[in-house]
Amino acid sequence: MEPFGARLRAVMDEHGPLCVGVDPHASLLRQWGLGDDVAGVASFCATVVEALAGRVAVVKPQSAFFERFGARGAEILESTIRQFREAGTLVLLDVKRGDIGSTVAAYADAYLNPSNPMYVDAITASPFLGLGSLAPMFDSAAAHGGGVFVLALTSNPEGPSVQHARNIDGRTVAQTIIDEISQLNAGAQPMGNVGAVVGATIGETGHDLSKLGGPILVPGLGAQGGTPDDLRSIFAANLGSVLPSYSREVLGAGPSTQALRDAASRALDACAAALGHQGRS
């Protein structure tokens, strides 16, 4: 399969720079008039698929909101993934996995091997056992045309205590992760397969993302306080690689499919303007 970085570049050029979360959390289900149960999650996902499949570049289901319903929740997640991918929408599964040895290899096999039912285009991963511990994920992604988005600078208030801590060479933990990602992406065109997750609300932290060489997933927009203007100020050297991610700001417009499409379109227009994106279809 074509490398993930190339596939992501193509869908972003076609549909614009937008990732929409698929997060059936309890309060949103109630807001939609649905039960916080398997039937409610199934109805929620059917509506989001109808509204957005084939219309946005990337969707990002958060696995925890499905896992809380056990095997039946996993079935809904598998079906939702399949429907989006069949429509040509890339699926980034938000699992934030991170481990060592055979365990991380099993995670890679579960999500990045096309022979498995939960196969997706890319996953999120936690590097805080050392970026090298994720090597099986990177290898599997390279072998199957997948991608891995590694947590680097997150928006949560607890993040800086770890991510801004300094190594013996003076670099922060986050900068070390960013630099190691850049080495993995060296020479890749138009983008590497390994991306970084950087929150929209981190502000000016002094970290250098200019040599990353891969996509930057930017959550924290909309309901979490980030704005499209933040994209330009934080990612000035990487505007073409930024993939803004909205969840509640778009999903809160449901359950009307047209209202969901309109909300996604508004988010996309605002982000595209901030990033100077051209070529949206």
Instruction: Convert the pLDDT of each residue in 188-240 to its tens digit.
Output: 999 999 999 999 988 888 899 999 999 999 998 887 788 999 999 899 889 99
- Residue 257 near residue 50, CB atoms below 8 Å: yes
Q: What whole-number percentage of the chain has pLDDT above 90?
A: 89
Residue 279's pLDDT is 53
What is the reported pLDDT for 204? Answer: 80
Which residue in the list 72, 96, 211, 232 is annotated as catalytic?
A: 96
pLDDT tier at 65, thresholds 50, 70, 90:
very high
Q: What is the pTM of this model?
A: 0.96
**What DSSP character marks residue 154?**
-
| pLDDT over 90 at 277, yes or no | no
Structure tokens that stand for 275 in this block: 């990033």
What percent of the chain shows pLDDT beyond 70? 99
The mean pLDDT value of the chain amounts to: 95
Please write the tens of the pLDDT for every residue from 250-269.
999 999 999 999 999 999 99
All domains of the chain in start order, with CATH: 4-274 (3.20.20.70)
Query: For residue 107, which of 71, 83, 137, 131 has the smallest C-alpha distance?
Result: 137
Concerning whether 211 is annotated as a catalytic residue, the answer is no
